[in-house]
Amino acid sequence: MNLTGIDLAVLAAYAVGIFALAQWVSREKRGHQKDAADYFLASKSLPWWAIGASLIAANISAEQIIGMSGSGYVIGLAIASYEWMAALTLLIVGKYFLPIFLKNRIATMPQFLEQRYGPSIRTVMAAFWLVLYVAVNITSILWLGSLAITALTGVDQTWALIGLALFGLGYQIWGGLKAVAMTDAVQVALLVFGGLVIAYITLGQIGGDSGVLGGFARLTTEFPEKFDMILSPDNPHYAALPGIAVLVGGMWIMNLSYWGFNQYIIQRALAAPSIAEAQKGVAFAAYLKLLMPLIVVLPGLAAVVLAPDLSRPDEAYPTMMSLLPVGLKGLVFAALVAAIISTLGSLVNSISTIFTLDIYAKARKQASQPELVHVGRIAAAIAMLIGAALARPLLGNFDQAFQFIQDFTGFFTPAIVVIFLLGMFWKGASEAGALAAAIGGVGLSALLWRLNDTGAFAMPFMNRVGLVFLAALALAVLVSLIWRPKPEALKVTLEGVDYRTSMGFNLAGIGVIAFLAAVYTLWW
């Protein structure tokens, strides 16, 4: 894809503008020095629109946009289940999880585990998340993001990777979460606008005189198989989306873990001034999620008509971008860069939060507030440096590395959900039960993965996650009944948590459910 001088000027304007905005929102009143609450939780003052936008910006990155468009090209609209089911998950998180976290003034997920179970599990899980975020998440976003930029522009990948790392670190290191969340509103607006522009132009070309609606009608008429939302077992892509499991199976486990117990996602909701503001934010994010398939899936569907002979599915999105006129092409490319930068900023900020509050502050209890902020900034810089250094060695073989990332994360997801759900909703859950679920869940995941890899026991990834969740849940309950929790360990307040939600939140939930019911009924 060739970018003209105008396109590059648009990209440069974005880069300068977003960096300047980040520094502006990071400024402090004269005489005030940032403390830990300011830096890591944005002074507990994030408005709902910033929370909602930042949730989506942290989630969507360039490789996801390109990858899901490629899946739309091959599989069809069914891949949108990842986006649409996430919308309902967000509402569940807002109604049932956030009231517990906010009532107990939780700043990090390891902190919750310590207050609910004990100090050992806090340290173990803090170390786990730090390794996961640096060695898996940052490396994959830097590598795959730089790969996408290289494919689109021809820039050397090493320089693209270094540029992303420096910019992703630089624009948020001074202001912390506030810089990330407040600028994410602009990043998401750019991302949505860019995606809608591609959808409008590509569907218009498909529809001809009939316009955008005619283009979409042509897709549904000529390629009805691309609009099957629930894949049958004889579908060649059943292993990726195993039928009804997307509605009642393993996808729920992955969504609850990602949206409910993932520090770099949930942290912006923990920074709300009140539970009502946090719930409005997640409701806003849920509706943005309903919109996402227009941005990340529809370009792939359009490419079925406009570029039917692609050599690789991941070429769908860049090919559709090449159809854009000068100027708009630069704007959409800036949206892709924004998706990478916002996710990197969220990850690095959460890494610095966990390291500083869950490890450093526990080891050095006399640390001052300015010292904690200083340590957080150093941790962010080191995390980005390590991620950039490890990207090529770990992910040089793209296909194998990406599959490894999915499998690695899936090893831990079922146990994490078991530990948190029991910790929040069953007083009888003990630290011994939580550790048993963690060890047993990872062990069973590894065993099933190995059996599937050798062909001895074939099972779709999503079904494996669901099966391991049920086994880990049973093990955690059994061990907790044998080794009861110590009363002094239960520092999380479960009594008096108010799960009532506002009329607006309830109406938003009804709207999401009605939308999902209509979509899955129409294209079952």
* Nearest CA among 355, 373, 293, 273 for reference residue 51: 273
Entry pTM? 0.90
**Token representation of residue 409:** 């994360």
Angle CA 315–317–323, to nearest 5: 105
Q: Is residue 255 part of a domain?
A: yes
Read off the pLDDT of residues 328-373 as tens digits, 9 standing for 90 and up: 888 888 888 888 888 888 899 899 999 999 999 988 888 898 899 9
Average pLDDT of the chain?
A: 88
C-alpha span between 59 and 264 (Å, rounded) = 9
pLDDT > 70 fraction of the chain, expressed in percent and rounded: 96
pLDDT tens digits, 204-234: 999 988 889 999 999 999 999 899 889 888 8
Q: Which amino acid is at 465?
A: V
In a domain, 446, yes or no: no
Instruction: Say if 430 falls within a structural domain.
Output: no
289 falls within a domain: yes
What pLDDT does residue 32 have?
Answer: 63
For 157, the domain range is: 46-396+494-522
For tokens 């976003």, the residue is: 141
Specify the 3-state DSSP secondary structure of 2. coil
In this structure, is residue 29 part of a structural domain? no
Provide the CB-side half-sphere exposure for 241 (13 A, CA): 23
> Position 462: which residue type?
M
The CA R_g of the chain, rounded to the nearest whole Å, is 23
448 alpha carbon, distance to own chain's centre: 25
Q: What is the CATH number of the domain that holds 162?
A: 1.20.1730.10
Tokens of 160: 């693209």
Distance from chain centroid for Cα 204: 31
Residue 428 within a domain: no
pLDDT of residue 406: 62
pLDDT in tens, 459-468: 888 899 999 9
Q: Quickly count helices (H) and strands (E) in the chain.
A: 25, 0
Residue 466 burial (CB count, 10 A): 21
Assigned domain for 411 exists: no
Q: Looking at residue 234, what is its pLDDT?
A: 86
Q: How far apart are CA 178 and CA 176, in angstroms?
A: 6
What would you measure as the largest C-alpha separation in the chain, in angstroms? Answer: 72
- pLDDT tens column, 232-285: 888 888 888 888 888 888 899 999 999 999 998 999 999 999 999 999 999 999
**Count of domains forming the chain:** 1
- DSSP secondary structure string for all residues of 27-86: ---TT----HHHHHHGGG---HHHHHHHHHHHH--HHHHHHHHHHHHHT-GGGGHHHHHH
* pLDDT in the model for residue 150: 83
Q: Domain for residue 141, yes or no?
A: yes
10 Å Cβ neighbour count for 13?
A: 13
**Which residues of the chain have a pLDDT value below 50?**
399-402
- How far is 113 from 360, CA to CA, in rounded Å? 17
